[in-house]
Amino acid sequence: MRLSARPIAALLAALALTAGLSVTGTPAVARSADEPAAAEASDVSLAADTYTWKNARIDGGGFVPGIVFNRSEKNLAYARTDIGGAYRWDQAGKQWKPLLDWVDWDRWGWSGVASIASDTADPDNVYAAVGTYTNGWDPTNGAVLRSSDRGASWKAATLPFKIGGNMPGRGMGERLAVDPNKNSVLYLGAPSGKGLWRSTDSGVTWSEVTAFPNPGNYAQDPSDTSGYGNDNQGIVWVTFDERSGSAGSATQDIYVGVADKENTVYRSTDGGSTWSRIAGQPTGYLAHKGVLDSATGYLYLTLSDTGGPYDGGKGQIWRYDTESGAWADVSPVAVADTYHGFSGLSVDRQKPGTLMATAYSSWWPDTQLFRSTDSGATWTKAWDYTSYPNRANRYTLDVSSVPWLSWGANPSPPETAPKLGWMTESLEIDPFDSNRMMYGTGATVYGTENLTSWDSGGQFKITPMVKGLEETAVNDLASPPSGAPLLSALGDIGGFRHTDLDKVPAMMFTSPNLDSTTSLDFAETAPGTVVRVGNADAAPHIGFSTDNGANWFQGSEPSGVTGGGTVAAAADGSGFVWSPDGAAVHRTTGYGNSWTASTGIPAGATVESDRKNPKKFYGFKAGTFYVSTDGGATFTAKATGLPAEGNVRFKALPGSEGDIWLAGGASTGAYGLWRSTDSGTSFTKFSGVGQADSVGFGKAAAGAAYQTVFVSAKIGGVRGIFRSTDMGANWTRINDDAHQWAWTGAAITGDPRVHGRVYVSTNGRGIQVGESSGTDGGGTDPGPGTDPEEPPGEADCKVTYTVTNQWSGGFQAEVTVTNTGSAAYDGWQLGWSFPGDQKVTQMWNASYQQAGAKVTATNVGWNGKVAPGSSAGFGFTGTATGTGTEPAAFTLGGEACTVA
């Protein structure tokens, strides 16, 4: 990303959310600590349906501040993002697999990952320090998540302070580290002056290392009173010297980086009991990284005069000889000639003395990569000037798999398109393969598989290694009735026209290029006409298309506009209404050659159009609904008593005049879902919808007279993505606890051409696409293996069913399915019948259907493959009149399992 809209986007999210739940030591996939939330009194019935979920492919789109390779198992690597969760590398598919999609609405901040650590002693173990902001924007404290199955499932230890995955300094690290000799010991560097923390029980509990002398003192902007720029960046990395310990015995020599320009590196030589500042260290800089080459005994530091990830004007690289205690400045560029800091740092574990570093804050003309094969004595660069402005590159860069990375630019030398990147704070050489290297940028992950060609005088090939890592923040979505199925408004990279959801679009929207698109709309009866608005450093802030978003032209704008706001297109494309930041609501006919201020509506109102009557537009602000019947020239206040706080979003039903659904509010006031059938003169609240934040429409179910309604909402006490095929009389939750994506309140829309398909916005996990397994809008057949009248055979499976908690009217259970056969499962369905009146209310790590007493639990995508001798587990909460009682029998694919 070029400029971060993330603090603003997440702040808006925070303002719309209620306080989060605090969980310590409980399954991180569970929605609550000991009990589910009490169901709200409602006449809304909750059904079950099986949906499959995927991303509309964009590939990347955000900052990747950390990449971590496991040093004992080949091809095991993780990536962390600032707001979009963590990922594990899938070597077979050459793609990344998301690990934190289970993070729920109440703990949305846990989708920000400040650090990640992979256990060298036991590669099944992985840890993540999570939390998005250290100030009040994030309502919950941070946590250290721990997994013993490479991120397939997690448990959480909530911390007594916040963690800042999207705070200044987030590219430094890694803050979290596992002792390579005694893996029950972990260290965590805390922000905000909270010090150094240690766990001695594999991350279950944590305590402060009170002997550590320096909690840091550097803040990006001490004058900022928001708690963002003025936060003490704290302790920023921990590195072990594995030579000073042995298997089962704690490592004695530990190095810690501190955000303090005069005292940036500390060491313990007694396993963390005592600490001291290392004498002779460089001053005036912050050590972004500290990496030890155990083969040579050298500790390397990459230094910058700021904490990053955007800023940094001067930098150095230093080397510390851990044997002699001697320091050496091994910078590849004299400090007087730097205009950037250094950050990304890695050593080649196969070739002692070989290391690489990045000039992370070299925005123009490009970032720079440095490489040394003699422990920093001499360096070469990824590119050099020949005769300015021409450059000679040691690399080739092929972005054909993600072509939008060129940004559609055609710059003059020495700048190139695409660039090597910017904000390059993470760079890692594969510890098992000297030819493979990956590095993160503000927009993608780049990598190479022939790196050593650099040393032989050839060119190494760089390509995006980002497939599966979807990190865009989504502001608005539209699905026209013809043309491309999906148009998107995104933070940082503008937005895309998807003609194929499974392919990366060739280019983001251009002419104009907007830093962030805040709103878009199409003409309902003329969907070739599209308008979008957004944020940019200067005008224009608006663009128009007459070919369904394939090509764009810039529009003029009223005076005073500072940002995008919201925009609406007349149903027939004859005019537009725009409510920009910095100016009043305006209208235009044609394509914005001139604008006229609307009357009767306040500045900053949210605007939408009627989807049938081209003269009718709607607006909303601070609890009042506004209507125009003259193309947006004048508005009249209509309904009042609507939510006056929080974010409110509303949509008019396609093809029907005056049918409006409104979602939004805040927990401190009105909050929910309303409908008007008289063009906003009056609204009726849906009593069964406790909270709602976005609403949209899709193709009607077979035999239904009304379009399918989709909401991101809380219904029956459960947060999720819901749909209704009968105008809100009944709701079906269509996501599950493994697919929650933190915050989904910005936008939602169904597809008018495919029943059941829905597009869901996230704030960092891109555009989620849901596909229904049903064909008529109802639930699906539970499938084989759930009918007790069918005589089952015997399956190669063993089931352990444990009721882990009981309370009045409910219970929680954990289920483990073990493969006792000789062939792997490739997907599984476990069936059982409950005794009594037990009913599942929510399930994690599996999806479920229940018909009467019969239940079928089906694997989710990441736990469908179960090798012989291995197990898959899931859990659920349920209701019961008495106590939760174990079912007598289980079937897998229609055949009986052994019950443990």
CA–CA–CA angle 616, 619, 622 (5° rounding)? 160
The conformation of residue 13, written as its DSSP 8-state character, comes to: H
| 282, 304 contact by CB (below 8 A) | no
Cα separation, 874 vs 690, in Å, equals: 28
3 state DSSP class of 109? helix
The conformation of residue 249, written as its DSSP 8-state character, comes to: B
Q: What's the token pair of residue 663?
A: 């979602």
CA–CA–CA angle 357, 361, 362 (5° rounding)? 85
Q: Which of 492, 659, 693, 736 is catalytic?
A: 492
Q: What's the token pair of residue 500?
A: 């194929």
Cα separation, 127 vs 121, in Å, equals: 13
Residues 6+ apart with CB under 8 A from 608: 521, 566, 568, 617, 618, 619, 650, 651, 652
Cα separation, 421 vs 417, in Å, equals: 10
Cα separation, 668 vs 462, in Å, equals: 51
3 state DSSP class of 55? strand
Residues 6+ apart with CB under 8 A from 304: 285, 286, 288, 312, 314, 315, 340, 341, 342, 343, 360, 361
- Based on the residue annotation, tell me whether 492 is a catalytic residue of this protein: yes
Q: What's the token pair of residue 536?
A: 């940019």
3 state DSSP class of 123? coil
3 state DSSP class of 481? coil
Cα separation, 120 vs 294, in Å, equals: 15
Cα separation, 690 vs 900, in Å, equals: 41
Q: Which of 59, 82, 231, 521 is catalytic?
A: 82
Cα separation, 845 vs 666, in Å, equals: 30
Q: In whole angstroms, what separates CA 359 from the centre of its chain?
A: 26
Cα separation, 488 vs 504, in Å, equals: 13
Cα-flanking dihedrals φ and ψ of residue 862, to 5°? Answer: -90, -10
| 405, 418 contact by CB (below 8 A) | yes
Q: What's the token pair of residue 222?
A: 């001490």
| 251, 259 contact by CB (below 8 A) | no
| Element housing 302 (H / E) | strand 298-304
Catalytic residue list = 82, 492
